[in-house]
Every structure is written in structure tokens, then in C-alpha cells.
Amino acid sequence: MLIKIGQFDITECWDGVFYKKLSRYPQITAWEIQTVLDFIRYEELNGRTCDLEADQEIIDAIEAYRLTYNKGI
């Protein structure tokens, strides 16, 4: 599944792409990071992989939080 994070009209999943609308693009909130990581976890539990497509700052923020997320904190 391709996850595109950015400035869209709505958050939706369409034709193999999950479009994640950010409330304050280009900033990503902790809640938005949590929802992206929850989606990735769900996909992985069902045998699917995900690729992120976003500004590098957004990807960096997600990866920085992923360490805490994976610890279950």
C-alpha cells in the first residue's frame, strides 16, 4: 500500500493508495503520526507492506516517533 501524506481534500483510501490529509500541512501532529503508524501496523499484520510518500521532514518526524511507538509507550 502506498501512503501519500500531504495536503488533500480528505483522508481516504482509494485504488491502493492511502491519502492522509494533514490538518496543518506541512506540520504533522502526534495524533496524525499515530494514525499513520497504526495503519502501517494493520497492513503488516495482514501481510502487506507500505511505502511512504511525503516531504522529508514529515518522514523524519514519523521515523523519530516510530522508536517510541514500537516500544508501546
The pLDDT value given to residue 72: 84
- Domain of residue 65 covers 2-71
The pLDDT value given to residue 7: 97
Cα–Cα distance for residue pair 11/20, rounded to 1 Å:
5
What is the mean pLDDT for each group of 10 consecutive residues in the chain (73 residues)? Answer: 97 97 97 97 97 98 95 81
Decide the pairing of beta strands 12-14 and 17-21.
Answer: antiparallel
The pLDDT value given to residue 71: 92
Cα–Cα distance for residue pair 56/6, rounded to 1 Å:
11
User: How many structural domains comprise the chain?
Assistant: 1
Beta-carbon contacts of residue 17 (< 8 Å; ≥ 6 apart): 1, 2, 3, 4
The answer to whether residues 6 and 22 touch, using CB atoms and an 8 Å cutoff, is yes
The pLDDT value given to residue 73: 67
The pLDDT value given to residue 12: 97
Say which amino acid occupies 35.
T
Q: pTM for this structure?
A: 0.91
